[in-house]
Amino acid sequence: MTDRVRRHRRTKILATLGPASSTPEMIVQLFHAGADIFRLNFSHGAHEDHARRIEMIRAVEKKTGRPIGILADVQGPKLRVGVFQSGRVQLQAGKSFILDQNKAPGDTRRVCLPHPEIIDAAEIGATLLLDDGKLRLRVVHNRGDHLVTEVLNGGVLSDRKGVNVPDVV
């Protein structure tokens, strides 16, 4: 039996699905509360999880007889560091930290930066921001195949955190 829902409004309501809202019951609740479109954040979660969410949304669509939009939110390219032996390290302000091309897990002294274009373009004095700017490094040497930096703002750096290079073209 279909549950025909009529909506006479010009505004669409978008609901983001995540771990707490990805059950068939919750999707039905969100739909009946007014959600017209469900957003799936592909920056998080596995493709299999997203496929299950899509199946659940399509089941609600079939049951209600109303088209439901799905927005697949994919992040653009993001520059990231590699991984660490323990999953994370504590960087200390004033200490040296190396960004290199070695794919081996990093430690408190170094980590892989799998973007040779950054190393090629970075000049002495350039700032690198890690983990959405929470950590700040300054390039003190460019050795051609790796950067030696000084940690200006320390903190925890974990696997695959983003790298932003505001001083580098």
Cα-based distances in Å from 49 to 15, 23, 73, 102:
17, 11, 14, 32
Residue 15 neighbours by CB under 8 Å, 6+ apart: 21, 30, 35, 37, 38, 39
CATH of the domain at 158: 2.40.33.10
Angle between helices 24-32 and 47-64 (to 10 degrees): 50
Q: Is 169 inside any structural domain?
A: no
Instruction: Dump pLDDT digits (tens) for 126-165.
Output: 999 999 999 999 999 999 999 999 999 999 999 999 999 9
- In the listed set 46, 73, 100, which residue is the last one of a domain according to the structure? 73
Instruction: Dump pLDDT digits (tens) for 56-93.
Output: 999 999 999 999 999 999 977 789 999 999 999 999 99
**Which is more confidently placed, 1 or 148?**
148
Per the structure, how many domains does the chain have?
2
Q: For residues 118 and 37, what is the distance between their CA atoms, to the nearest angstrom?
A: 38
Q: In this structure, are 95 and 152 located in the same domain? A: yes
Q: Is 55 inside any structural domain?
A: yes
Q: Is 2 inside any structural domain?
A: no
What per-residue confidence (pLDDT) applies to 45?
A: 81
Q: For residues 21 and 23, what is the distance between their CA atoms, to the nearest angstrom?
A: 6
- In the listed set 38, 73, 108, which residue is the last one of a domain according to the structure? 73
Q: Is 106 inside any structural domain?
A: yes
